[in-house]
Amino acid sequence: MFVNEICQLIIRPPKSTYSTRLLGPELSIIQGVPVTREDFEFTSRQLKLQASYFITQQIHHRCLIYLHGNSSCRFEGMQQLERILSIGVNLCVFDFAGCGLSEGQYVTMGFYEKEDVKELMNYIEWRFGKVDEFILWGRSMGAVTALMLSQEPRITTYIADSAFTNLITVIEGLAKQFLGYFSFLFQASISQIRKKIIDEAQFDINHVSPINHVSIQSYSKRFYFIHGINDNLIDSGHSQRLYERCKSYKILEFCDGGHNSKRNKDILDNITQFINLSRFDLQLNVDYTKKCSKYFKVSQSFLNNYKIEQLEQTEKIKNYLKQKEIKKLQQQQQQQQLTNFQNLERRYFQ
């Protein structure tokens, strides 16, 4: 019985659904900067996957792709929207196959998801222009997916929150929770779990092992590992071992909270600074400017109208306050006249 339950936890966890209205308006102003949200659909493995791209006008095209957990959706990445856009980086959020509003029956804990991310990167460059820097920020399954793309030359920065070293170890931990004192039965059942997942989701759990991918030594890549010290699903030791295996520039930070806990502001500020370590020359990204010119025009027009509305609103407020002050003065004058009259009346009748 526990074999089926573990397989379901791995390849078919509860699906997160949502309304696209939660993604916010298509045009918005964030910290004084006009932002365009473009929803799109791209195809990977013959599955239609749903994504959103938040575009700002910059001379460079820096793109952060947020990779959600195995039972989450693109809305998870929306929590970092303002933070990411504030440093001149565009944000892309999407639903992995089998998640949110995307097609697909199963998740594969990074095995096929890494191919979906490559297809997404290709699509972004085709539609929105050449990207100067791709950044991946992933959590749990999303973090594993990011690390399994360590060899991808277009990606410079990796934020890996709550990643695991290999899937077998995670399954072993789940089995211990199910079996308790009978966890010795796990070894006898692992072949059944492996076979069932291969039959249903067409991937081998032995091949989901990000620790075999992070040993790349590159001066152009940076890795930021984060893990909650109270994570009862994936022990923080996983991130410790990934950090030790990594040979590029790296940071490891443990924080309060569990596997799905919200990260505190200090952690998020550190991540923002880490992302913004890249330095570019002042050369304009012509391809990005050309392909996104229509978005820039619309957003600039929106910003101008927004400023006009703000000025009009300011004038209305000023006029309102002015009229209120005039009315107050008139009331004071009337009150003073009434007081003077009453004083005269008292003197006259005394």
At residue 203, φ and ψ (nearest 5 deg) are -145, 155
- Pair 285, 300 in one domain: no
Alpha-carbon distance 139 to 227, whole Å? 10
Residue-range definition of the domain harbouring residue 194: 2-291
Q: For residue 263, what pLDDT is reported?
A: 94
> Could you read off the pLDDT of 31-52 as tens digits, one per residue?
888 999 999 999 999 999 999 9
Alpha-carbon distance 257 to 33, whole Å? 33
Q: For residue 162, what pLDDT is reported?
A: 96
Q: For residue 318, what pLDDT is reported?
A: 75
One-letter-per-residue 3-state SS of 233-257:
CCCCHHHHHHHHHCCCEEEEEEECC
CATH of the domain at 230: 3.40.50.1820
CB-based burial label for 115 (10 Å; 0-12, 13-18, 19+): middle
Q: For residue 255, what pLDDT is reported?
A: 93
- Pair 96, 113 in one domain: yes
Pairing of strands 155-161, 133-139: parallel
* Largest separation between any pair of C-alpha atoms in the chain: 113
Beta bridge partners of residue 139, listed in sequence order: 161
Q: For residue 284, what pLDDT is reported?
A: 86
Q: For residue 178, what pLDDT is reported?
A: 63
CB-based burial label for 272 (10 Å; 0-12, 13-18, 19+): middle
- Pair 76, 212 in one domain: yes
Give me the DSSP letters along 78-141: GGGHHHHHTTT-EEEEEPPTTSTTS--S---TTTTHHHHHHHHHHHHHHHH---SEEEEEEETH
> What is the number of domains present in the chain?
2
- Pair 103, 244 in one domain: yes
The residue from 268, 291, 314 where one domain ends is 291
> Could you read off the pLDDT of 254-292 as tens digits, one per residue?
999 999 899 999 999 999 999 988 766 667 899 999 999
- Pair 187, 262 in one domain: yes
Q: For residue 6, what pLDDT is reported?
A: 85
- Pair 36, 163 in one domain: yes
- Pair 274, 326 in one domain: no
- Pair 334, 202 in one domain: no
Q: For residue 5, what pLDDT is reported?
A: 84
- Pair 203, 300 in one domain: no
- Pair 110, 239 in one domain: yes
Q: What amino acid occupies position 129? A: G
Alpha-carbon distance 50 to 63, whole Å? 17
Residue among 120, 124, 117, 18 nearest 75 (CA): 18
pLDDT, averaged per 10 consecutive residues of the chain (350 residues), comes to 82 88 87 91 97 94 96 93 93 96 96 98 97 96 97 96 94 72 64 92 95 86 96 93 95 93 93 84 84 88 72 74 78 74 65
The residue from 291, 315, 333 where one domain ends is 291
Q: For residue 341, what pLDDT is reported?
A: 64
- Pair 258, 299 in one domain: no
